[in-house]
Structure 1
Amino acid sequence: MVTTLLVIVVILAIAFDYINGFHDAANSIATIVSTKVLSPFQAVLWAAAFNFAAYFYFTDHKVANTIAKTVLEEYITLEVIFAGLVAAIGWNLFTWYYGVPSSSSHTLIGGFAGAGMAHAFILGDSAVGAINLGPTLQIISFIALAPLIGMFIAVVITLLIINISKRAKPSVAEWWFRKLQLVSSAALSFAHGGNDAQKVMGIIFVAMVAGGYLQSGDPMPEWIPLTCYSAIALGTMSGGWKIVKTMGTKITKVNALEGVGAETAAAVTLGITEHFGIPVSTTHTITGSIIGVGVVKRVSAVRWGVTISLLWAWILTIPVSAILAGITYAIIHYLF
């Protein structure tokens, strides 16, 4: 029998996926809006369509499986998942309000881990012992690796594009790059949908297992990915204009050529990590890629003060989400 708490947890997870969509819309559309290739309204429709299109391609659910394994099964309860989602939603809304492009992925992971650790501690076990260190350390390592990989690939792609097109007339090159930005932003939205929707899929699956509705070895019911891809696409359509401004103009000024380079680099990075089942931050990846195309112009073209502020948000996301989730779990445990 499906319990009321399980229903609430699933609804919260879908709500988080929706929030993830409008929080991370900037990842896919910031450069295409800042270069005026598409209007903001056209851009979110374009991104949302390719967010959902990923449902038909990413059917192996590798990232979802990794997320589901970050907390050991014996410490996963519906209360743990509920507390993790509440903390993740809270931090996501906070950073969205202030226009900080933090990672929705790491918010979710931090919340889930923090609630699991609090549960273990209350049981009298080691808090750290609740964490499956292999997948968790892999995820944490890519806080640094994902933007660095994105930056490196962006530098390589941008230099290749510059050398290939150096003899082209500027007006002709600009026309082509504006058209190519439609392709590169579509690829990034496609990869974003495939990477980020799976994270919530993993959470919903473990909630169904914790609620006794599924067994851990069961295949994922088809309604879970369909719902998650739909939610993230609808969220993307809602936009996240404060973060669009930060990503599209405050890090470095991006033209159409550089937009193609940054978006292509981020899409390639996400495709590689998804292939290996590594949940990485789309936000971190596209930020690194935008920095990469800025560095190709000149190092001073990147507003490093803004970048350092973003770095602090990245560092704080997992521990803050974990602490919020731990406090939320303790309140639930002792009051209810």
Structure 2
Amino acid sequence: MASGLVALLDDVSAAAGKAGTKAVGVVVDDTAVTPSYAMGFTPERELPIVWKIALGSLRNKFLFLVPGALLLSAFAPWAVTPILMLGGTYLCFEAAEKIIEALRHEDIPDEPGEFALGSAELERQKVSGAIRTDLILSAEIVAISLSNVTDRPLAVQAAALALVGLLITVGVYGVVALIVKMDDIGLHMAKRPSPLAKAVGCGLVRRMPAVLSLLATVGTAAMLWVGGGILLHGLEHYGVPLIPELAHALAAPAHGLPAIGPAAAWIVTALFSAALGLVLGGAIAGGLHLLKHRAEHRR
């Protein structure tokens, strides 16, 4: 009995590790996106807001996404790849929209009436918005994780998805909490008598805007890489080999590099995936902007 339980736990941990590794790109994006929802409030409200969003993320995963994924695995496993490809396409579109906004120097407009809201109502709206965003990203994480454990028994799938969901939520929102409080940590250190502590604290405070900007850039790149990679695998799955074969052909010379061959090949494939995601996402975003522009001219 004990040996059987140990074997089951080992199977679950191995499945969860494989599934979680594949979802790392979306995890990076989730970590990069969330801090903005807790910014702009008084310091004592920042961690409670992150906690509320984390609880909402757990509800998303354990009440809706994991049960839904298991039902798909049991009754409609054929639907996993199309859902993944739709999610990958959405990630590419979202990343392209962010790039277009950055190139056009567009500021995201404030929500209607935001300045007229009290702090409690504004906090509620921000938390609700963060949880909705998390639902989309968590759905992609669960779908990617499921695609890597569909060959396991249903009990192992359930345990692996639950473990991945819990660990990713704890990891993501632990890092988000640290990012959100980093400027406060810097201010506290800047008040210490130690010259080293002062220097580190002032450096943290000065560099936090740049760190947040870098996180946004990394998140956008991760969306393109993950979305494009999902589409590549989907095309291979459905026997459309032209684009996947091109990716393999470009990565093949990198495999021959001594010592760094596998890493170099992975980088080439990731860059190709990101380029594919940018082309597709840019086409969708550009088409929607064109339709919106034409609709405005007809008024």
The TM-score with structure 1 as length reference comes to: 0.32
Question: Relative contact order, CA 8 A, sep 6+: which one is greater?
Answer: 1
